[in-house]
Amino acid sequence: MVVAMAAGMLVLHPAWTLAIAGTAPTSVLRSVEVDTIVMATAMSVPMVAWMRYRGHGWAPAWEMSLAMYAGFIVLYPLHWAGVVNDAAVMSYGHVLMLGFMLLAMLLRRHEYTTAHHDHHRTSLEKIRDPASTRLSS
Protein backbone atom coordinates (compact mmCIF):
# COMPACT_ATOMS: atom_id res chain seq x y z
CA MET A 1 0.00 0.00 0.00
CA VAL A 2 2.80 2.40 0.90
CA VAL A 3 4.52 1.48 -2.39
CA ALA A 4 1.40 2.45 -4.33
CA MET A 5 1.28 5.75 -2.41
CA ALA A 6 4.93 6.47 -3.12
CA ALA A 7 4.43 5.67 -6.80
CA GLY A 8 1.60 8.22 -6.99
CA MET A 9 3.70 10.74 -5.13
CA LEU A 10 6.68 10.27 -7.46
CA VAL A 11 4.71 10.20 -10.71
CA LEU A 12 1.45 12.11 -10.31
CA HIS A 13 2.67 14.96 -8.12
CA PRO A 14 5.54 15.96 -10.47
CA ALA A 15 3.00 15.84 -13.32
CA TRP A 16 1.01 18.46 -11.39
CA THR A 17 4.10 20.60 -10.79
CA LEU A 18 4.73 20.48 -14.52
CA ALA A 19 1.11 21.35 -15.29
CA ILE A 20 1.23 24.55 -13.19
CA ALA A 21 4.72 25.54 -14.37
CA GLY A 22 3.29 28.37 -16.47
CA THR A 23 1.22 29.97 -13.69
CA ALA A 24 2.23 33.06 -11.74
CA PRO A 25 4.23 32.49 -8.54
CA THR A 26 1.38 34.05 -6.56
CA SER A 27 -1.25 31.84 -8.21
CA VAL A 28 -3.61 30.04 -5.84
CA LEU A 29 -2.63 26.86 -7.69
CA ARG A 30 0.79 27.18 -6.07
CA SER A 31 -0.55 27.60 -2.53
CA VAL A 32 0.42 24.93 -0.05
CA GLU A 33 -3.25 24.05 0.44
CA VAL A 34 -3.75 23.20 -3.24
CA ASP A 35 -0.32 21.56 -3.37
CA THR A 36 -1.01 19.25 -0.42
CA ILE A 37 -4.54 18.39 -1.64
CA VAL A 38 -3.01 17.42 -4.98
CA MET A 39 -0.36 15.42 -3.12
CA ALA A 40 -3.00 13.59 -1.07
CA THR A 41 -4.98 12.86 -4.25
CA ALA A 42 -1.86 11.68 -6.09
CA MET A 43 -1.17 9.28 -3.24
CA SER A 44 -4.79 8.18 -2.74
CA VAL A 45 -5.65 7.24 -6.32
CA PRO A 46 -3.05 4.45 -6.72
CA MET A 47 -3.59 3.40 -3.11
CA VAL A 48 -7.36 2.95 -3.60
CA ALA A 49 -6.68 1.08 -6.84
CA TRP A 50 -4.25 -1.20 -5.02
CA MET A 51 -6.62 -1.79 -2.08
CA ARG A 52 -9.49 -2.63 -4.44
CA TYR A 53 -7.20 -4.97 -6.35
CA ARG A 54 -6.29 -6.72 -3.10
CA GLY A 55 -9.96 -7.24 -2.35
CA HIS A 56 -10.67 -4.47 0.18
CA GLY A 57 -14.13 -2.91 0.12
CA TRP A 58 -14.86 0.70 -0.80
CA ALA A 59 -15.38 1.81 2.82
CA PRO A 60 -11.84 1.03 4.03
CA ALA A 61 -10.47 2.49 0.78
CA TRP A 62 -12.30 5.78 1.39
CA GLU A 63 -11.24 5.84 5.03
CA MET A 64 -7.64 5.37 4.02
CA SER A 65 -7.96 8.20 1.49
CA LEU A 66 -9.46 10.41 4.18
CA ALA A 67 -6.40 9.65 6.31
CA MET A 68 -4.19 10.99 3.50
CA TYR A 69 -6.04 14.30 3.37
CA ALA A 70 -6.48 14.59 7.13
CA GLY A 71 -2.72 14.64 7.76
CA PHE A 72 -2.43 17.88 5.77
CA ILE A 73 -5.77 19.47 6.63
CA VAL A 74 -5.19 19.45 10.39
CA LEU A 75 -2.10 21.60 9.77
CA TYR A 76 -3.87 24.33 7.80
CA PRO A 77 -5.03 26.27 10.89
CA LEU A 78 -1.45 26.31 12.18
CA HIS A 79 -0.30 27.47 8.77
CA TRP A 80 -2.90 30.24 8.64
CA ALA A 81 -1.86 31.29 12.15
CA GLY A 82 1.71 31.60 10.91
CA VAL A 83 3.02 28.83 13.18
CA VAL A 84 4.25 26.54 10.38
CA ASN A 85 5.49 27.40 6.89
CA ASP A 86 4.65 25.74 3.54
CA ALA A 87 7.45 23.18 3.72
CA ALA A 88 6.46 22.16 7.24
CA VAL A 89 2.83 21.58 6.19
CA MET A 90 4.07 19.34 3.37
CA SER A 91 6.55 17.33 5.45
CA TYR A 92 4.69 17.08 8.79
CA GLY A 93 1.54 16.33 6.79
CA HIS A 94 3.18 13.15 5.49
CA VAL A 95 4.11 12.10 9.02
CA LEU A 96 0.61 12.78 10.37
CA MET A 97 -0.82 10.94 7.36
CA LEU A 98 0.92 7.77 8.48
CA GLY A 99 -0.51 8.26 11.96
CA PHE A 100 -4.04 8.63 10.59
CA MET A 101 -3.52 5.56 8.41
CA LEU A 102 -2.47 3.57 11.45
CA LEU A 103 -5.60 4.78 13.21
CA ALA A 104 -7.76 3.72 10.24
CA MET A 105 -6.11 0.30 10.36
CA LEU A 106 -6.63 -0.08 14.10
CA LEU A 107 -10.31 0.78 13.71
CA ARG A 108 -10.60 -2.06 11.21
CA ARG A 109 -8.11 -4.44 12.71
CA HIS A 110 -9.89 -7.47 11.31
CA GLU A 111 -9.90 -6.14 7.76
CA TYR A 112 -6.16 -5.54 7.80
CA THR A 113 -4.98 -8.53 9.78
CA THR A 114 -6.90 -11.13 7.79
CA ALA A 115 -5.01 -12.73 4.93
CA HIS A 116 -5.75 -10.80 1.76
CA HIS A 117 -6.88 -13.88 -0.09
CA ASP A 118 -9.61 -14.21 2.50
CA HIS A 119 -11.52 -11.14 1.32
CA HIS A 120 -12.35 -12.96 -1.87
CA ARG A 121 -13.79 -15.99 -0.16
CA THR A 122 -17.43 -16.26 0.78
CA SER A 123 -18.45 -17.03 4.36
CA LEU A 124 -19.69 -20.39 3.21
CA GLU A 125 -16.26 -21.30 1.88
CA LYS A 126 -14.72 -20.35 5.21
CA ILE A 127 -17.19 -22.55 7.10
CA ARG A 128 -16.54 -25.50 4.82
CA ASP A 129 -12.80 -25.12 4.94
CA PRO A 130 -11.84 -23.17 8.07
CA ALA A 131 -8.25 -24.42 8.19
CA SER A 132 -7.27 -22.74 4.95
CA THR A 133 -8.27 -19.35 6.40
CA ARG A 134 -5.08 -19.34 8.43
CA LEU A 135 -2.86 -20.99 5.85
CA SER A 136 -3.76 -18.84 2.86
CA SER A 137 -1.87 -15.64 2.24
Stretch that binds Cu ion, among 8-16, 30-38, 56-64, 110-118 (CB under 5 A): 8-16
> Which part of the chain contacts Cu ion (CB under 5 A), choosing from 36-44, 81-89, 105-113, 116-124?
36-44
Among 9, 12, 37, 105, binds Cu ion (CB under 5 A): 9
* Position among 32, 39, 61, 89 found at the interface with Cu ion (CB under 5 A): 39
Nearer to Cu ion, 56 or 94 (CB): 94
Return d(Cα 126, Cα 137) in angstroms, integer.
Answer: 14
* Distance, CA of 29 to chain centre: 22
Instruction: Tell me: does residue 101 bind Cu ion (CB under 5 A).
Output: no
Q: Can you say whether the dihedral through the CA atoms of 48, 52, 56, 62 is positive or negative?
A: positive
**CB-based closest residue to Cu ion:** 9
Which of the stretches 14-22, 38-46, 70-78, 100-108 binds Cu ion when contact is defined by CB under 5 A?
38-46
Q: Is 47 in the site for Cu ion (CB under 5 A)?
A: no
Q: Which residue pairs from 69-73 have beta carbons closer than 8 angstroms and sit at least 24 positions apart in sequence? A: 69/37, 69/40, 69/44, 70/96, 70/97, 70/100, 71/40, 71/95, 71/96, 71/97, 71/98, 71/99, 71/100, 72/36, 72/37, 72/39, 72/40, 72/96, 72/97
| Residue closer to Cu ion (CB basis): 31 or 134 | 31
What is the size of the binding site for Cu ion (CB under 5 A)? 2
Q: Does 104 contact Cu ion by CB under 5 A?
A: no
Binding site for Cu ion (CB under 5 A): 9, 39
